[in-house]
Structure 1
Amino acid sequence: MATCTIPIPITEAVLTAASVAEPSPGEQVWNSLTGYATGEKVILGAPTTTVTISNGAPAVVTWTANGLPNGTPVILSTAGALPTGLTAGRIYYVVNRSADAFQLAEVVGGAPIATSSAGSGAHTAKASIHRTYQSVKLTTNTGNPPAIDDGTNWYDVGPTNLWSMIDLYRPSVTWGVSPMTFQLTPGQRIRSIFLGEMDAETARVVVKVGGVTVYDVTSQLWTRKTFTPTDFCFKPWTRRKDAQRIDLPLYSNPVIEVTLTKSTGQVGIGEVVIGNPEYMGKTQYGAKRPFKNFTKFDRRTDGTPNAPKRQRNVPTASMSIMFDKENTPNLLDLADRSNGLICVWSGIDDDAHSYFPAALILGLATTFEPDLSQPDHGLLTLVAEEY
């Protein structure tokens, strides 16, 4: 069974607990009053403050010296009532920022939201940045907000350690001691969780509702395929990196607890995706898994090679998926909803199957082409490339 899972955003309201502490050793939380020397690292997590919100078209959020770039996710809460047009707990995005104010949009770069009442009570805004920055200023670096810096004072190292597993970029990994645990409270029904780029021996997923365990499955990540007596005696064990569960019980208020273990060394995980898998059809024989190799090397004038500059392989998955004609409207809708989004494209629903890693891509669909030449069944050509 082939599925596509469009990720549900994981914010501070969803990632409610974790054993990975921030800031990591050698980092500190950025403070506008602190002077930082060259090479020192700081993090920006979830800046939070009391704000005022105007009643207007568009509404203006006043946050003095906010330091938030356009596109930053923001969640609002209130002790009273938000201005009409805004909803507490919903994710909005900063647009038209200035030093002390900004507007909000429902999508990145979208139209600013208008309000039609003044609201009441004190309002709070929480931004979601979760980036690590390294000071590059040769003199003391004071009062320069890292998130809006042009590279003069700060270098953007990447996501913070805990949030590396949330950004969906395969090479970025969250590291911690075993057992590594984290808790997700999505606030809605979900049926799927994908755990990718793991460096662990076991991955346990527990779902609780009202404190009662309703689902508990542990994936053993050790794997060993032997084909000869020599392999059986001497071939080392390896570990698979990815696991996907698409059978979570559909409760409206689940709490999902994930535990990763490893007997020695640190545990790592690169991606966490939750959502609801969309059934596409049945993957047919003939699927392919080509790689784009970005390693480069050249040769000297006598033809001898210089040492290669090793870079990552970027895989793609190419597969044909047979679908019932009645599913055609759903596939067309999926093509629109997944456009430009990083999704989990899985050609096999059994993560223990030997073909599962080759038929899985966390990335973008570059080809989504239904063939309707048969009367009762169509054939979807899907090509997806890793992010």
Structure 2
Amino acid sequence: MKIIRPIAITAASLVSSDVPEDEAVYSAGTTYAQGDLVRGNTSDTEHTVYESQADANTGNALTDTSKWLLAGATNRFRMFDAIVQAQTTNPDEIEVTFSTTSRVDSIALLNLSAGSVQVVVDDPSDGVVYDETYELVSTDGIVDWYSYFFEPIERRSDLVLTDLPPYAGTEITVTLSSPGNTVAIGELVAGLSRELGDASYGASVGILDFSLKERDTFGNVRVVERAYSKRANFTLYMDAGMTDDVVRILSRYRATPAVYVAAGNYDSTTIYGYFRDFSVEIAGPNHSVCSLELEGLT
């Protein structure tokens, strides 16, 4: 299993993006109706969207929670807001370039809707050191000729790359393409990966569903679809010399979301979130065993 320790991708490090910020900037002199959306007008809020909670909403500061509701990041910045279900969308293509100061060798692209992904790493001294394109057609579930010919084409919704050259001070360009369709991505996470141990068979994966399902007095069911998050339980085996380092790393990221990649051939074992609990058993002089319970972000 690997952990990807994320770097912050902010407005300052975002070199370019072809996703427009179409939300109107808030103006104190404008009258807003209930449901109107605006973008913040200060350096701290310029990439944040607020929703008016009243009609005839004039001159009320965005900090007035009786008049304004914080709705989240702008479309351009949803892919960096640590909310996997909130997607950045754009027709045909999303192309972003961001700069790094620390070393980066991994990128996780989560909750994708695209046909292909291209990742380019450009170093100021060595030039382009990485340029790879990945098709997102999934072969999962294709187990016989019938499913090969008749099952609808599915695309991967998550892609994790851990083979980038570990340069610092680069510019990384990620291009998601699907001509003629709406391209979407829930989260882009970049950082430096670290081995935690070998995940053993017997792992369990699933989801926590926050949808509302209610049955009325006549037995009819009302379903309100809401977000969900991944969850998983793993057992890791590691060399004894890694024990203290693993405890130190997990303790450091106890309140910081990170990407955990248990098995590259199972996208369902990629979790972006926190550990709920972990314990390390020093099982012998040469190895230790770690029990790790993870819960993903919505």
TM over 0.5: yes
Deviation at 1:381? 0.7
* Cα pair 1:215 1:248 within 8 Å, conserved: yes
Contact 2:57–2:67 (8 Å) recurs in 1? no
Q: Which moved more, 1:171-180 or 1:222-231?
A: 222-231
> Normalization by structure 1: what TM-score?
0.72
Q: Partner of 1:380 in structure 2?
A: 290
- Runs of 5+ unmatched residues, structure 1: 49-126
- Provide the residue aligned with 2:203 in structure 1: 287
Measure, in 2, the Cα distance between the counterparts of 1:298 and 1:199: 30
1:233 aligns with 2:149: yes
Counterpart-to-counterpart distance in 2, 1:233 and 1:386: 34
The percent of aligned pairs where both chains have the same amino acid is 27
Gaps of at least 5 residues in structure 2 are: none
| 1:338 aligns with one of 240, 250, 253 | 253
Q: Helix, strand or coil: the match of 2:128?
A: strand
Deviations 1:156-182 (A, max 9, x none): 222111111111111100001222100
Counterpart code for 1:384: L
Matched to 1:263, the amino acid is P
Equivalent position of 1:3 in the other structure:
2
The equivalent of 1:262 in structure 2 is 178
Aligned residues: 295
Higher strand share: 2
Taking the aligned partners of 1:229 and 1:248, their CA distance within structure 2 comes to: 36
Task: Name the residue aligned to 1:101.
Answer: none
Partners of 1:208 and 1:295 in 2: how far apart?
Answer: 43
Instruction: Report the aligned-residue RMSD.
Output: 1.9
In the TM superposition, what whole-angstrom CA distance separates every residue of 1:157-215 from its partner, at most 9, and x where no partner exists?
Answer: 22111111111111100001222100010122211111111110111110001282110
Distance 2:247 2:168 in 1: 27
Q: Which amino acid aligns with 1:292?
A: L
The residue number in structure 2 matching 1:43 is 39
2:255 counterpart of 1:361: no
Q: Is the 8 A contact 2:32 2:55 kept in 1?
A: no
Distance 1:321 1:129, change over 3 A: farther
The CA distance in 1 between the partners of 2:10 and 2:119, in whole Å, is 19
Provide the secondary structure at the position in 2 that maps to 1:236.
coil
C-alpha displacement of 1:300:
4.8
CA contact (8 A) 2:92 2:183 kept: yes
2:244 partner amino acid: P
SS, match of residue 246 in structure 2: helix
Q: Which residue of the partner structure matches residue 198 of structure 1? A: 112
In structure 2, how many angstroms separate the alpha carbons of the residues matched to 1:227 and 1:376? 40
Distance 2:163 2:191 in 1: 11
1:119-143: CA deviation from partner (whole Å, max 9, x where unpaired): xxxxxxxx3652111222322422x
- The answer on 1:308 being equivalent to 2:223 is yes
Q: Tell me the TM-score normalised to structure 2 length.
A: 0.92
C-alpha distance in 1 between matches for 2:6 and 2:168: 17
Cα distance, 1:221 vs structure 2? 0.6
What residue in structure 2 maps to residue 64 of structure 1? none
Contact 1:175/1:266 (8 A) holds in 2: yes
Q: 1:301 to 1:185 in 2, by over 3 A?
A: closer
